[in-house]
Structure 1
Amino acid sequence: MSSNFQEAVQQLVDDRPPTAVHAIYSSQGIKLIERGVKVDPRLYERLLRHQLSAPLEDALQAQDSINGKALRSTAEDLVERRPVLARLLGHGNHQAQLLDALEAIPLPPPVAFQLSVARDVHPALFQYAVCTALLAGWLVLRPGMVRYDVIMPMAAGLLQDLGMMHIDPALLQPQGDLTPEQRRQLYSHPLVSALLLERHHEYPRELIRAVREHHELLDGSGYPAHLAGDRISPWGRVVSLAQVMSALLRPGRALSALRLSLLLRTNRHQFDPALGDRVLGALRGMASESAPASVTGIAALEPGASPVGQLIAFDRLLAAWPATLGRGGDATPARVQGMAAIGQQCEQMRRLLADVGASGDQLLMLGDDQDADLMAELSLIAQEMTWQLRALARNARRRWAPAAGEELPTALAAWVGEVDACL
């Protein structure tokens, strides 16, 4: 049990002491507590002082432990409180079928315990996981499918972030810049999730692989392995998109349908095209979220910002990427490959801006057109591109990977500096 997960379990023990589902032994074979004993804070602290014969979480059961019915109840509540989620699941009348599949996901006791800790200690993480499971099922569901092929991708969506409870809990809270150690933990959490699931025979290798890949992107800009294209499994592509959708559809997120539409339209190089088209098709007819009355919400997000000016500046920054970086000189092959990948992403982002009518040249042709709906959409595109540019600059630094005391090349440092100044 990691120290961070120990802290989460400690919070659970303090509020709702779990019960030992079988006797707990030390690594020397000494029985420490009997089956059925309630583990209160004092007893939990004593157990932590021992080397145990098996992981402690394997022996504990939370009060009102998570099971299929609890998952279904949570999902029904999420659908009721998230209108866009309800509309997506209602597209094709699949909601009842998906709820049935969610209830049938296999949950070995140690996995059920970890989900129970998430529910009681990190409720937002738990709700995000259930929403991701529903969306993963919706993405794969087709008429006549074998039920197993729906349940297992949903299980991957539900369990993909178990590893988040084993890393720095600060990463579960909205915050600014991450420390290098926090970023390393964040990039490793898909591997931690996969390791936690590998010992349970209920889960096939394809599910474990999808959990490892749930932050991989088709253009190779994801993590932890920078997989690209066909190297990402079908279920990995499903969970990668489902978890992004789940984050966008959380309660209180303004204009979530429009944000999701723009995300897919401006990032077609990162997600499976067929899955993206399925989502965009379902989102048609939800345009009421982007009515002029909602422009006030956008203005509050970016006070005083000119989306047209921002997007023109972003387009010029992408065009200014120093294409000769890493060519010649003594750059390592990894750096050459990394800089080439960043250059390709800059070109892809420029093409995507052009595809949605937001390239620099297209925007200059608008003149004084200040149509409210148009400005609302351009504001959201600018917000999405702000995030994309910030991530691109961060990836450029990371993929050059300067050694201790080493500076970035002048051209790269200048470009990253211009991005930082623009944002």
Structure 2
Amino acid sequence: MPDIDASSTPQAPVGENPHYLQAVAELGNERSVVAHQDIYSSTGIKLVAKGARLTPQQFERLTQHKLSAPLDHMLESERPVDANALAAAAARILDHEPVYARLAARTGDPLAVKHALAGVKLPKALLMRLTVMRERRSEMFEHSIRAGMIAHALAQRMGLPATERYNLLMAALCHDFGEMHTDPALLAAGHDITPEERCYIHVHPVTSYVLLHDLAGFPQVAALAILHHHERLDGSGYPHGLRCDKIAPLAKLLAVADVAETIIRRFDLPRLDVLVRLNQTRFDHRVVNALRDLIHASPEDALAKPNEHGAMTQLSHLADLLQAWPVLRGSFAAAVAPRDPDDTPLAFLFERMANIRGLVLQAGFDPDHVDTMLSIAREDPGILGELRALLDELEWLLQDLANEIGRREPELVDMPHTPLNGLVSHLRQG
């Protein structure tokens, strides 16, 4: 397994994380949390005796010390998450959520994921962390279960062998463990994450990997898939900006499942279909095609009437950006002359903007005649719905490029900041 390059990777927290420890303490206030072995500080001080039920005072004491081993390895809770609980959660989803029932049915074996979850072998440390997640970060737990179900369905559809399906399922269940080390306020619904706060989000795949890659009984290929699940084929992902074959194979499935779960929860299947069509350069086309086969979206799957005013606003934003880009591009080229901009740290920027322009043209948008595009869509609600979904996804791509510029700030320190700031302003104005 490749080592993590410390020079290019945000550093994962060292020692026990206060946000996770707080979640464990909150769980301890609701049910019995017991030390199944003596808990020592890294300096050899015995903090909690084996068999003791942890009190609020003991949790407070733990926050004041670096521990000799991860807390998950030394605690157990009553009513823990186990394989049977995971299988039961999947069964409830299949029984009550038509989208997931459809996905499972189109694999040819709709109960396979339930049986697979019932057979997972969870080390005791994972039981504890999944229990804390279920009880204190329930949305994260539900996301992990559903992402696992989508990932398993993709693996079935693509004919992956049983071992790879198992490893992928383990990766999906644990891929967001690192987010439990993030301040919950940053992840709260309605909170607008600032550029300065994004570094705490971007580090979570590394944190998850650090927590899992040395854990006895956890598949190493699953840990690597977790580390890479936010990487993208075009290099626009994080934490390492890897491309194509540098990304672990199972991570390519997990990446699609992770995004698909979020879109299904927040939007509808037509929006998901648009997303995978627009992101052919970012996601593995084989996985994307498998997902499209599984979701089999139709106009009847749309949940809401599209907003015409919102579509006009988004079209105007696209038009403004694409009309401003030639001037900004000229400023970048002049600033790095006589070098070819494609041989500078700005190369990614030229590639991303070319891709965005290509997507806009493929979608039939004429940036100089946005009124015409909308008037055509206005005559057909189905076309307007498709247009709004396309615009929503293009808007997300613009925001993602602005975030990527922020992630690459150390590489861009010698690049012209005035046009960069101008581009970021255009990208974010929507």
Is the pair's TM-score, using the shorter chain for normalization, greater than 0.5? yes
Structure 2 residue matching 1:95: 3-state secondary structure:
coil
Whether the 8 Å CA contact 1:71–1:130 is kept in 2: the answer is yes
Structure 1: how far apart are the matches of 2:317 and 2:337?
36
Count of residue pairs the alignment pairs up? 413
Paired position in structure 1 for 2:418: 410
Paired position in structure 2 for 1:188: 203
Aligned to 2:362, which of 325, 342, 355? Answer: 355
Find runs of 4+ consecutive structure 1 residues off by over 6 angstroms. 330-335, 361-365
2:41 is equivalent to residue 41 of structure 1: no
Structure 2: how far apart are the matches of 1:274 and 1:152?
19
Aligned to 2:225, which of 210, 219, 232? Answer: 210
Paired position in structure 2 for 1:4: 19
Whether the 8 Å CA contact 1:326–1:335 is kept in 2: the answer is no
**Which AA in structure 1 matches 2:241?**
H
Range with bigger deviation, 169-178 or 191-200? 169-178
TM-score when scaled to structure 1?
Answer: 0.86
Change (3 A) 1:38 1:107: same
**Which AA in structure 1 matches 2:193?**
L
Change (3 A) 1:411 1:114: same
Paired position in structure 2 for 1:170: 185
The correspondence of residues 322-401 of structure 1 with structure 2, limited to 5 A, is 322=329, 325=332, 329=336, 337-358=344-365, 360=367, 366=373, 368-369=375-376, 370=378, 371-401=380-410
Change (3 A) 1:305 1:196: same
Range with bigger deviation, 328-337 or 377-386? 328-337
Structure 2 residue matching 1:217: 3-state secondary structure:
coil
Structure 1: how far apart are the matches of 2:324 and 2:410?
22
**1:238 Cα offset (Å):** 0.9
2:292 is equivalent to residue 280 of structure 1: yes
Aligned to 1:226, which of 241, 253, 256? Answer: 241
**1:407 Cα offset (Å):** 9.1
Structure 1 residue matching 2:229: 3-state secondary structure:
coil
Whether the 8 Å CA contact 1:319–1:350 is kept in 2: the answer is no
Paired position in structure 2 for 1:124: 139
Structure 2 residue matching 1:373: 3-state secondary structure:
helix
**1:97 Cα offset (Å):** 0.9
Structure 2: how far apart are the matches of 1:66 and 1:196?
18
1:92-132 C-alpha deviation (Å, 9 max, x unpaired): 33331111112222211111111111101010001101111
Compute the RMSD of aligned alpha carbons: 3.1
Change (3 A) 1:17 1:219: same
Structure 2: how far apart are the matches of 1:409 and 1:107?
49
Range with bigger deviation, 229-238 or 21-30? 21-30
Aligned to 1:136, which of 125, 136, 151? Answer: 151
% same residue:
27
Aligned to 2:253, which of 230, 238, 243? Answer: 238
Change (3 A) 1:76 1:363: farther
**Which AA in structure 2 matches 1:399?**
R
Structure 1: gaps of 5 or more residues: none
Whether the 8 Å CA contact 1:136–1:153 is kept in 2: the answer is yes
Structure 2 residue matching 1:11: 3-state secondary structure:
helix
Structure 2: gaps of 5 or more residues: 1-15
1:294-343 C-alpha deviation (Å, 9 max, x unpaired): 543x329x658456555545554566651662666489999954321121
TM-score when scaled to structure 2?
Answer: 0.85
Range with bigger deviation, 345-354 or 229-238? 345-354
Structure 1: how far apart are the matches of 2:325 and 2:388?
18
Range with bigger deviation, 320-329 or 179-188? 320-329
Structure 1: how far apart are the matches of 2:406 and 2:212?
33
**1:362 Cα offset (Å):** 9.1
**1:28 Cα offset (Å):** 5.8
Structure 1: how far apart are the matches of 2:339 and 2:77?
51
**Which AA in structure 2 matches 1:377?**
E
